[in-house]
Amino acid sequence: MRALIVVAVLALLVVPVAAQRHMELIGSPILSEPIPPDCSDWHELYPSFCIVDHQDAYEDNGDGLVSECDVIILNGVRYHVDWAGPTYWMVPVDVGDEHWMEPTIPDPGGNPIGEIWHEVAPDYCMEWEVLDWEDNGDGVLSPCDIIWFADGSYHLAEIGLNIEITEEPSPTEQSTWGKIKAFFGM
């Protein structure tokens, strides 16, 4: 019995864990986007920055928008949508690196001061607090706004649609032993 438990535990250690991917819809300027048409391209932000995947199909959960619990098929692989929200492409006003961020609590409108943003690329998981905000005059968080963080000011270059996805397990055929057990009602 102990040997069986050891084998079961070792088998669990060998089973691969589905990795989460962060994707941004290419050419999407807003969050509340209707379902993207098939043949849309998605840009990977994490873990493999800049890989582009082709959308073969999309299965909506019934709300007519890109949202949690939808299914997207990219390059023939089915993925579950775990989260959908905005991606902020931040370009330094002076000198520095560009950053792609997402709010920890998505609210694309309103005043972002005090919000914590999660960096998706290039430094995954780094958190940034919005210290100040200079609106471009439209009253909402939008491109051409200036955002201040502890290390300086950034130009909000673009707001895109970001999804976090996990590969769905592919169905497997029942084994011969499983078929024999089913035949005998086990």
From the list 9, 37, 10, 40, the residue with the least C-alpha distance to 26 is: 40
Give the Cα separation of 120 and 85 in Å (integer): 12
Contact 146, 153 (CB under 8 A): yes
Q: Partners of 159 in the beta sheet?
A: 88
User: What three-state secondary structure class fits 27?
Assistant: coil
Q: Name the token pair of 58.
A: 């999309």
Phi/psi for 183 (5° steps) reads: -60, -40
**What are the distances in angstroms from CA 18 to CA 77, 79, 116, 119, 170?**
13, 10, 27, 21, 12
* β 77-92/99-103 pair status: antiparallel
Give Cα 154 to chain centroid, integer Å.
23
pLDDT band (50, 70, 90) for residue 11: very low
Confidence band, pLDDT 50/70/90 cuts, at residue 18: low
Question: How do residues 54-82 score in pLDDT, each as one tens digit?
Answer: 999 999 999 988 889 999 999 999 999 99
69/84 Cα distance (integer angstroms): 10
User: Rounded to the nearest 5°, which phi and psi values hold at 34?
Assistant: -65, 170
- CA neighbor of 131 nearest in space, from 144, 112, 118: 112
Per residue in 28-55, pLDDT (tens digit) is: 655 555 788 888 899 898 898 889 999 9
Burial (CB count within 10 angstroms: exposed 0-12, middle 13-18, buried 19+), residue 142: middle
Phi, psi of 38 (to 5 degrees): -55, 150
pTM of the model: 0.70
Integer Cα distance of 147 and 184 in angstroms: 67
- pLDDT band at residue 13 using 50, 70 and 90 as cut-offs: very low
Rounded Cα distance, 118 and 115, in Å = 10
What's the rounded mean pLDDT across residues 111-125? 90
